[in-house]
Amino acid sequence: MMAQTNTSTGAPDTNSSTSSPGDIVDLSAYDDEQVRLMGEMCIVLDNNDKAIGAASKKTCHQMSNINKGMVHRAFSVFLFNSKNELLLQQRAVEKITFPECFTNTCCSHPLATEAELDEEDQIGVKRAAQRKLEHELGIPADQVPLDRFQYLTRIHYVAPSDGVWGEHEIDYILFICADVDLNVNANEVMSVKYIAMDELKQMIADADKNGTKLTPWFRLIDESFLYKWWANLDNLEPFKDHATIHRLN
C-alpha cells in the first residue's frame, strides 16, 4: 500500500492513520453508499502522472485540497456498440460530485492497490475500468476483456463541482468497441442511452438552452478530441499519443 499523502504539501505522509489530512467535510447529509465509496483510496500524483502517494476519494475531491494542487489518477471509458453508437450515462442524483450530469460511458479512478497501480501497458487503469463498468452498469467482465481496451492519451484538467467538491485529474482515455448487456446500478446511474455522432453533436450544442447538464471532462474531450477518434474506430493507432499529457485548462 502506498503512503497516504499530506494534503498541505503534496508529499507522502508516512505518519498518517486511517484519517487523511483534509477530510474536513461532513458527509452526514449524503447517500450512505456514496459516502462509503468516498473512503476508497485514490492514487495521488505529481503533475507529470508520477504516483507519489494515496488519499481517500473524499480528500482528493475537496476543493480545499484541489486548490493546494492535489491531483489524482482517473480514467474515462468510451464504449461503442456495433452500430458505432456511444453509450452515455447520466450520473445518479445520489452522486456527491456532478449529480445528474450526462457523461461518457464510465468515469472513475484506479485505486491505490497493487493490481490497479500496475502501469505496464496501462493494465492497472484497464483493470479499474473493467471493475467500474461492472459496478456502475452491470457489464460482465468477459464482455469487456482487458485486451480490448484501447488507451489513447491522457488529459489533465481542474473542474469545480460546487463550492465544496471538484475534480483535479490526470485522466486516461480508453476506447472499447463491444456489444454488452446492461444491468444499471441505480445508485450510480440515473439513465443510459446509445447515441450516434450527429445526435451527440446536437445534444451538446443545445445543452445550455435545454438545461442539459454535462460533466466538465466530457465537454473537454468532446471539444478537443472525440469526433476525430470516433470517426476512426476501425483504426485508432495513428491517434494514440502516450507521451503527451494534454493540459486542457
Q: Spot the catalytic one: 94, 107, 136, 188.
A: 107
Residue 107 among the catalytic residues: yes
Residue 101 among the catalytic residues: no
Please say whether the beta carbons of 91 and 98 come within 8 A: yes
Distance CA 230, CA 243 (A): 21
Q: Spot the catalytic one: 94, 167, 169, 188.
A: 169
3-state SS record for 178-210 = CCCCCCCCCCCEEEEEEECHHHHHHHHHCHHHH
| β-bridge mates for residue 91, sequence order | 189
Q: Which three cell numbers stand for residue 104?
A: 461518457
Please say whether the beta carbons of 204 and 86 come within 8 A: no
Which residues are the active-site residues?
107, 169
